A and B are shown apart, each in its own frame.
Chain A
Amino acid sequence: MIDPIFLLEAAVNGIMLGGVLALLALGLNLIFGVLDVVWIAYVDLVMVSMYAVYFTVMVYGWPLWLGGLAGVALGVVLGLLVHVLIITPILDSPPVNQLLATGGLLFFIQSFATFLWTTDHRSVRIALPPLEIAGIFVSYARLISFVLSIAVMIGLYLFLTRTYIGTAMRAVSQDRGAMALMGANPQRVYLVTSAVGGAMAGVAAVLLSIQYSVHPYFGAAFGPITFMICVLGGLGNMVGAFVASFIMSEIIAIGGVVWSTEMGYVIAFALFIVMMFVRPGGIFARRQ
């Protein structure tokens, strides 16, 4: 029987992981909600921004906050570029074509990153001491990431509910056609959405940079789980994605301690499959 203190530690670590997963999932879900297109390559955009953080901080010696801003700025630019170059031409195409296009973008980004930066793993080395509270160890980097993730998510919530453009984004996500009929310009809303989604990818990149090495295949670790969280929460459902992030991360963390690391992931993925049968529209979807 495992000491309860370690179970508590696992639960705390699960919450920390959930914060970062939620940030990734909300960015992807925001874009899906408004544009109705799944950016399969979303985490690969995060990877490119992580390289920006790495190069500015470790190679050019910028302070982390400035390198972080560069990462976020690159995220915005990438979000806009992807929208203009890839998404706009396929906005009205069948979903399978959209998936193939963003899937192709994923392989392009991975291959191009390998070409530019090789397969080496690169790390932003910052010395953070372990944080021990009553026998529970928490990673400082994770704690910082968690707090910032929550702050960014609150900022996103306020942006969507308190600003004109945020309201327009929500309106488009509810009925794309009606907005155009009412004289609003959906293209502008799409561009802002892509920029905000890109900015969130940039913020995630900064927070992940202080916890993980970056390499061209970084997306393989976080891409599938981010997508699963979005589906579990309901594609386009922001609250659902937020809650699903913590459900998944807690199952992984606590399941890993109670049974085994592999079993934690097995249970999380099994739950995902079961939920797809029980609530295919996501955990907060209304029953038809």
Chain B
Amino acid sequence: MRRVRVLLAVVLVAAVAFATVPGRDAGAQGQTIKIGVLFDHSGPFAAAGSLNVWRGAKMMIDLTNEKGGVLGKYKIVQVDGDSQSKTEAAINEAERLLNVEKVDILAGVYSSAHAVPLAEKVDKQKKFLWITTAIADAVFKDRNLQYAFRPQTNSGLFGEASVQYVASHSSAKLKRAVKELRVAIIYEDGPYGAGVASSNESEAKKQGMQITLKEGYSAQAPDLSSLVTKLRAARPDVLFHTGYNPDIALFLRQAKEQGLRVKAYIGHGAGHSQLNKLKEAFGNDIEAFHTVDPPAAQLVDAKKLKTGLGALTNEMVKRYKTFEPAMARDAIAPHVSMGFNNMHVLLNDVLPRAIQKHGGFGPDALAKAARETDIPEGGTMQGYGVKFHPPGHAMAGQNMRAFAAVFQVQEGTFKHVFPEVIATGAPILPLPASSPWAAR
């Protein structure tokens, strides 16, 4: 009899608990929206950009809350998850955020190695995923995801942009016809590096360049000297490199010591975009290095953007000073913009429409609202527009209006050098003689 009473009590408590959990699609929604913000706060990815995107996202959430919340009344509750730079940890944290913390939206994800398995898992649970950073095509390619969206650019565009940039300056600055240009492609062998490298390769072939070496390596490898030796044997004019950190620091160190010399060095995002970290390791030697990423908002000409976005960029830069007081405005990593701007699109475009037009902020309402997003070029702080490929498309959920920019380190800060429409500096090619990696 006692056991029956205990059982009844448990059932009663469970029923009450269930009845008091607000239904997120119903009209009885609370005045808070819970957003799970998933980034790497520990492990090597943290310093390779993940922490900077988190900072950007947090600054935007704080700013929105200071203004009263989404639509002036729905406060955001930020629940952080730490992916620890490990795929299993990312998946576990996503599960915790979605099913224990019961967040309404899962946002963030720095690494493509995490995003590839996560996107499908979250989509199968019919939960809303907003990817601010991970770029691999494989996250969306041929998966027809219904609840995952990425305003961020994709790896295919990264690889194309860097090769097109080199091609556009090959004859005039590198003194080689494009078809005579010898290029090498090296990459960390996860989805991120492999995705960018694959698009480097296809674009280089399209341009008729000579690919002298294409090779992957593990980002955890303790030694890359054999890769440097092979590169010296391959004698490339231009080196395209996609990696995180500390692998890129290890590679550059060993390349410098083993006499690898090239005319141009083009990195692609992640560790290549963390200027202060590169400077700490290599000082001014990194002058004229390149990186590829979505444009950094503070480098975009505000006059070409929708009114008010310039002020928003200034706000981002001002708030970022609390994290890095000594950092020059133009040296701020583009990752900060990725977090700030892509969260801005979610909080100021998708969420208001979901609530006002589709009756709430449940996954279905959010997905419908995201599919209706139609921000023209110049409509975001980073310059690109936002419109997602529709269901059925090979890249369903990917922003079709995103683009990648080529940055160059000039006088210790970043300049946009490609595409020309957003250029803030003239490219320095080939590498100056003062560079220890410069071909002589």
Which A residues are closer than 8 A to B by beta carbons? Answer: 2-3, 6, 9-10, 13, 16-17, 110-111, 114, 118-123, 125, 128, 130, 132, 137-142, 211-213, 215-217, 220-222, 225, 249, 252-257, 260-262, 264-265
Out of A10, A130, A137, which one reaches B226, CB within 8 Å? Answer: A10
Q: Cβ of A123 and Cβ of B229 under 8 Å apart? A: no
Partner-binding segment picked from B25-33, B39-47, B104-112, B171-179? B39-47
Partner-binding segment picked from B10-18, B93-101, B215-223? B215-223
Extra pairs beyond A213-B246, A215-B44 (9, CB < 8 Å): A132-B259, A140-B257, A215-B246, A221-B222, A253-B225, A253-B226, A254-B226, A257-B229, A261-B224
Residues in B neighbouring A217, C-beta threshold 8 A: 43-44, 85
Residues in A neighbouring B280, C-beta threshold 8 A: 120-123, 125
CA distance A216 to B41 in the complex (A): 12
Subset of 9 A-B contacts with CB under 8 Å: A10-B225, A119-B41, A121-B47, A122-B280, A215-B47, A215-B246, A253-B226, A256-B225, A257-B229
Q: Cβ of A130 and Cβ of B249 under 8 Å apart? A: no
Q: Among residues 248 to 278 in chain B, which have CB atoms less than 8 Å away from a CB atom of chain A?
A: 249-250, 253-254, 256-259, 277
Q: Known contacts being A121-B281, A132-B259, is A6 close to B230, with CB within 8 Å?
A: yes
Q: Cβ of B47 and Cβ of A256 under 8 Å apart? A: no
Residues in A neighbouring B277, C-beta threshold 8 A: 120-121
CA distance A123 to B245 in the complex (A): 13
CA distance A132 to B254 in the complex (A): 14
Residues in B neighbouring A253, C-beta threshold 8 A: 223, 225-226
Q: Cβ of B258 and Cβ of A137 under 8 Å apart? A: yes
Q: Cβ of B42 and Cβ of A114 under 8 Å apart? A: yes
Q: Known contacts being A6-B233, A119-B46, A211-B253, is A221 close to B227, with CB within 8 Å?
A: no
Tell me the minimal C-beta distance from B235 to chain A in angstroms: 11
CA distance A248 to B334 in the complex (A): 40
Q: Known contacts being A215-B246, A253-B223, A261-B224, is A142 close to B233, with CB within 8 Å?
A: no
Q: Cβ of A125 and Cβ of B216 under 8 Å apart? A: no
Residues in B neighbouring A138, C-beta threshold 8 A: 258
Q: Cβ of B258 and Cβ of A213 under 8 Å apart? A: no
Q: Among residues 157 to 191 in chain B, which have CB atoms less than 8 Å away from a CB atom of chain A?
A: 189
Q: Cβ of B257 and Cβ of A128 under 8 Å apart? A: yes
Nearest 3 A-B pairs (CB), nearest first? A256-B226, A119-B46, A139-B257
Q: Cβ of A216 and Cβ of B249 under 8 Å apart? A: no
Q: Known contacts being A121-B246, A213-B249, A215-B246, is A261 close to B221, with CB within 8 Å?
A: yes
Residues in B neighbouring A142, C-beta threshold 8 A: 225, 257
Is B232 an interface residue, CB under 8 A from the partner?
Answer: yes
Out of B42, B216, B226, B281, which one reaches A123, CB within 8 Å? Answer: B281
Out of B217, B229, B253, which one reaches A9, CB within 8 Å? Answer: B229
Residues in A neighbouring B246, C-beta threshold 8 A: 121, 212-213, 215
Q: Cβ of B222 and Cβ of A222 under 8 Å apart? A: yes
B47 closest partner in A (C-beta): A119
Tell me the minimal C-beta distance from B51 to chain A in angstroms: 7
Tell me the minimal C-beta distance from A154 to chain B in angstroms: 24
Out of B85, B223, B250, B257, which one reaches A130, CB within 8 Å? Answer: B257
Is B68 an interface residue, CB under 8 A from the partner?
Answer: no
Out of A111, A121, A211, A257, which one reaches B42, CB within 8 Å? Answer: A111
CA distance A110 to B41 in the complex (A): 13
Which B residues are closer than 8 A to A by beta carbons? Answer: 41-44, 46-47, 51, 85, 189, 215-218, 220-227, 229-230, 232-233, 245-246, 249-250, 253-254, 256-259, 277, 280-283
CA distance A257 to B232 in the complex (A): 11
Residues in B neighbouring A213, C-beta threshold 8 A: 245-246, 249-250, 281
Tell me the minimal C-beta distance from B170 to chain A in angstroms: 27
CA distance A6 to B215 in the complex (A): 17
CA distance A141 to B85 in the complex (A): 29
Residues in A neighbouring B189, C-beta threshold 8 A: 262
Q: Cβ of B218 and Cβ of A137 under 8 Å apart? A: no
B42 closest partner in A (C-beta): A114
Q: Known contacts being A6-B229, A221-B221, A252-B223, is A123 close to B259, with CB within 8 Å?
A: no
Out of B47, B85, B225, B245, which one reaches A139, CB within 8 Å? Answer: B225
Residues in A neighbouring B250, C-beta threshold 8 A: 212-213
Tell me the minimal C-beta distance from B250 to chain A in angstroms: 6
Q: Known contacts being A6-B230, A10-B229, A121-B246, is A225 close to B222, with CB within 8 Å?
A: yes
Residues in A neighbouring B230, C-beta threshold 8 A: 2, 6, 256-257, 261
CA distance A123 to B286 in the complex (A): 15
Tell me the minimal C-beta distance from B271 to chain A in angstroms: 9
Tell me the minimal C-beta distance from B256 to chain A in angstroms: 7
CA distance A110 to B89 in the complex (A): 16
Residues in A neighbouring B245, C-beta threshold 8 A: 121, 213
Out of A114, A141, A261, which one reaches B257, CB within 8 Å? Answer: A141
B44 closest partner in A (C-beta): A217
CA distance A12 to B152 in the complex (A): 44
B253 closest partner in A (C-beta): A211
Q: Cβ of A261 and Cβ of B226 under 8 Å apart? A: yes
B45 closest partner in A (C-beta): A119
Residues in A neighbouring B43, C-beta threshold 8 A: 119, 217
Residues in B neighbouring A125, C-beta threshold 8 A: 280-283
Q: Cβ of A252 and Cβ of B226 under 8 Å apart? A: yes
CA distance A263 to B189 in the complex (A): 12
Residues in A neighbouring B51, C-beta threshold 8 A: 119
Q: Which of A17, A120, A128 has the most CB of B within 10 A?
A: A120
A115 closest partner in B (C-beta): B42
Q: Cβ of B249 and Cβ of A261 under 8 Å apart? A: no
Residues in B neighbouring A9, C-beta threshold 8 A: 229, 258
Q: Cβ of B220 and Cβ of A221 under 8 Å apart? A: yes
CA distance A44 to B112 in the complex (A): 27
Q: Cβ of A118 and Cβ of B47 under 8 Å apart? A: yes
B276 closest partner in A (C-beta): A120
